[in-house]
Structure formats: structure tokens, C-alpha cells
């Protein structure tokens, strides 16, 4: 752990008179006092963001901005915001662009390097993430013309995250506010890249918090997991999915070429994880769709659920997933799930730990 050192030097002069000398003849005594104040570079909270506790001078020399005090007033909460094309090796860093139609340079890249040799995982939390969407499809028959195999492709704006020596992220786009990515920290630094294409008329914004985790910390999740979820309940969603919407519109489209792993921590005294679509109603010929829709079962039609060997291209893999209707569990071969409905019974599927 790094420490800041604050050295205060006080010089005190005391004057006294001698019985054998005149009042104009005085002997001076010089006393030097040294007080050392040490404090760790711990995380701190400013008025708007999290930062790292440094002395004011050290914060300035590292390229940060002070926002509030820490360490009982001996330090400042130092905030680090990275500009396009820059590199940094500080923990708790922010990548921010607000309401832009273009960036320079483009692609806009951020190099995030380990702040110590003990770092194993780096997490990117998308407080705001709004760039151009993919090519949209529609839940309708016949399908929208002139889109074909491009549906789900990020053809205008893209974002990706590298992990040299490991697995980076897939290419994503659209609105991903509230999502996160975690990658294995690389000795060659991890690069986050926004590439903004199109006409430049769309407004893009992002605000991403970057946190580094040591190898001894369990908060970064296991190696290779692109997302890591904790808690007894929560929501899993694909990128560019409208998490907050009560109705899933007909043009909501999952992104192409997404191949990654989501890991979940087993909570104390829990023996299974059960998954239920957040929105189960589906009306593909009208306006809405279910909150689960991954390809289709070619033999069953738009409303059916498929599993196992029937899911040959797009699918969600939940090892050991079982249908869990009131009548009892029915195993799903290989745990691969696809179709326009999550479960053949319209209920949940469980993975027993």
C-alpha cells in the first residue's frame, strides 16, 4: 500500500535574560521540531465522484484534480479523468464525454495500466453509455427488407475493450447505461476504444468508472468472466437491452457476435440460481416482445422455446438448466436455450449448484 508523507518543520526561538548581562545582551536558543504525518492512499468520496487520497501537491503532479479533503484534512480527494488518447496507471479513473457528435482523435482510445503489480482484474462501470445503435430488426412477418444479415451489427459506432494475453470484450454499441465489463489486467495495459462513425449528427455520451482489483480481492470476479454479479437477486441483460423499460418494443435487437461469460457468486446458504424472464408476455405481430428472444426455433414458430441441439447458432448457455414448472424439474440437454420464449412452460429455469 502506498503512503503519502507530510513533513512539517517548525523552528521555535526562545529568548531569556542573564543575571550577569545587560538587557541588550541576550542568548538565543534554537529548537527544531519535526512532525511526520503519514496516511494511506485509500479510496475517498468527493462531492460527486470517488477518488484517491493524496497530498495536494502529489494530486497535481499526478494530473488529478482535488475535490474535498481526506485523511483528517491532511490530504485531498484526488479525481482522475482521462482524455482521449491518454494513458493512466491510477486506480478509480473516469472516462467521460458529454453530448458530443464527434471526437478527436477518432478512434478515441484510453489506455488503463496496472496501478501495481498486484492488480489482476479491471472493472468498467457504465454510469452513462449512449452511442449509435446497431442495425435494428423488427418482430414482425415478413421481416424488414434490406437488412438481412446486418441486423444486430454495430455498423456506425463501436466500443471494445482489449486484454492483451487474455480475452477482451466483444464489440458493443447502443445504450448500455447500468452495464459493466471486467477484464483480466494486462502487463501491456488494457485499451478501451470508442470508434464513432456515421454522419456525425448523432449525440454520444459516456461516463465510465474504472476500478482496479488486486489478485487477493474477490470483488473482481474469476479470471475470464466479462461480468460478475453478486447478491441474492438481480437482473441479467444483454448489451443494448432497455433494462428500465416496462414494454420491450418490436425493434429491440440483441447485438451480433456476442460470445462472453457472465459469472455469479454463490451466496451463503443458497443452493440454486433460478432465471425468470422479466417480461413474459409476447405479441410479435403487434408491438411488444418478451424480455427473452435469442434467434428462433426453425421448426416451432416464433412463440416457441427451444433447447439443446435445436439451438445451433444463437443461444444462451446455462449449464445444467432445468425447466422448473409446478409439476417438477425437467432437465435441458446441454443447457443451451434459444427461441422467442424462455421456457416451454412459460416459467423459470433453474441451475442447481
Residue of 42 and 120 predicted with greater confidence: 120
Per-residue model confidence (pLDDT) at position 319 = 83
* Domain chopping of the chain, boundaries: 1-74, 83-270, 271-353
Sheet of 108-112: strand order equals 87-88, 108-112, 190-195, 158-161
Find all residues with CB under 8 Å of 3, minimum gap 6, and list them. Answer: 38, 39, 40, 41
Average of per-residue pLDDT across 78-98: 95
pTM of the model: 0.83
* 340 has a pLDDT exceeding 90: no
Which among 54, 79, 114 has a CA at the least distance from the CA of 207?
A: 79
Give pLDDT, residue 15: 36
Q: What is the pLDDT of residues 1-18, one digit of tens each?
A: 443 323 322 323 333 444
pLDDT (average), residues 113-128: 97
Which residues, at least 6 apart from 236, have a Cβ–Cβ distance to it below 8 Å?
A: 229, 262, 275
Q: Between β-strands 227-229 and 262-264, what pairing exists: parallel, antiparallel or unpaired?
A: parallel
pLDDT digits (tens, 9 = 90+) for 100-109: 999 999 999 9
SS3 state of residue 249: coil
The cell 451480433 sits on which residue? 256
Q: Which of 193-207, 223-237, 328-342 has the lowest mean pLDDT?
A: 328-342
Range 116-128 average pLDDT? 97
Residue 86 three-state SS: coil
| 101, 87 contact by CB (below 8 A) | no
CB 280 within 8 A of CB 317: no
- With a cut of 90, say whether residue 147 has pLDDT above it: no
Q: Which candidate, 352, 353, 351, 314, places its Cα nearest to that of 336? A: 314
In whole angstroms, give the CA distance from residue 27 to residue 16. Answer: 7
Predicted confidence at residue 29, as pLDDT, reads 52
CATH number of 83-270: 2.60.120.290
Q: Grid coordinates in use for 179?
A: 452495464
Closest by Cα among 63, 106, 99, 56 to 82? 63
Amino acid at each position: 500500500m502506498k503512503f503519502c508523507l507530510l513533513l512539517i518543520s517548525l523552528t521555535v526561538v526562545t529568548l531569556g535574560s542573564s543575571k550577569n548581562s545587560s538587557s541588550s545582551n541576550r542568548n538565543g536558543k534554537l529548537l527544531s521540531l519535526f512532525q511526520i504525518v503519514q496516511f494511506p492512499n485509500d479510496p475517498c468520496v468527493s462531492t460527486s465522484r470517488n477518488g484517491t487520497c493524496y497530498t495536494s501537491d502529489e494530486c497535481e503532479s499526478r494530473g488529478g484534480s482535488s475535490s474535498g479533503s481526506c485523511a483528517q484534512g491532511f490530504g485531498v480527494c484526488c479525481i482522475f479523468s482521462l482524455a482521449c488518447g491518454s494513458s493512466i496507471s491510477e486506480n478509480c479513473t473516469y472516462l467521460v464525454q458529454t453530448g458530443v457528435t464527434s471526437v478527436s482523435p477518432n478512434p478515441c482510445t484510453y489506455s488503463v495500466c496496472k496501478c501495481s503489480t498486484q492488480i489482476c482484474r479491471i472493472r468498467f462501470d457504465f454510469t452513462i453509455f449512449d452511442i449509435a445503435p446497431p442495425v435494428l430488426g423488427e418482430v414482425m412477418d415478413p421481416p424488414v427488407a434490406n437488412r438481412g444479415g446486418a441486423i444486430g451489427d454495430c455498423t456506425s459506432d463501436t466500443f471494445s475493450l482489449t486484454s492483451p494475453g487474455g480475452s477482451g470484450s466483444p464489440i458493443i454499441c447502443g445504450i448500455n447505461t447500468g452495464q459493466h465489463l471486467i477484464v483480466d489486467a494486462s502487463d501491456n495495459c488494457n485499451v478501451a476504444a470508442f470508434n464513432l462513425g456515421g454522419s456525425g449528427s448523432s449525440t454520444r455520451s459516456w461516463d465510465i468508472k474504472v476500478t482496479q482489483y488486486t489478485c487477493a480481492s474477490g470483488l473482481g470476479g474469476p479470471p475470464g468472466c466479462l461480468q460478475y454479479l453478486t447478491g441474492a437477486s438481480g437482473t441479467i441483460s444483454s448489451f443494448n437491452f432497455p433494462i428500465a423499460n416496462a414494454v420491450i418494443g418490436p425493434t429491440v435487437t440483441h447485438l451480433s457476435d456476442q460470445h462472453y461469460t457472465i459469472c455469479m457468486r454463490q451466496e451463503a446458504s443458497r443452493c440454486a440460481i433460478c432465471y425468470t424472464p422479466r417480461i413474459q408476455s409476447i405479441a410479435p405481430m403487434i408491438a411488444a416482445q418478451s424480455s427473452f428472444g435469442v434467434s428462433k426455433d426453425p421448426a416451432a414458430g416464433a412463440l416457441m422455446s427451444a433447447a439443446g441441439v435445436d439451438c445451433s447458432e444463437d443461444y444462451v448457455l446455462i449449464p445444467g438448466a432445468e425447466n422448473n414448472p409446478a409439476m417438477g424439474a425437467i432437465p435441458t440437454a446441454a443447457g443451451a436455450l434459444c427461441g422467442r420464449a424462455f421456457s416451454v412452460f412459460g416459467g423459470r429455469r433453474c441451475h442447481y449448484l
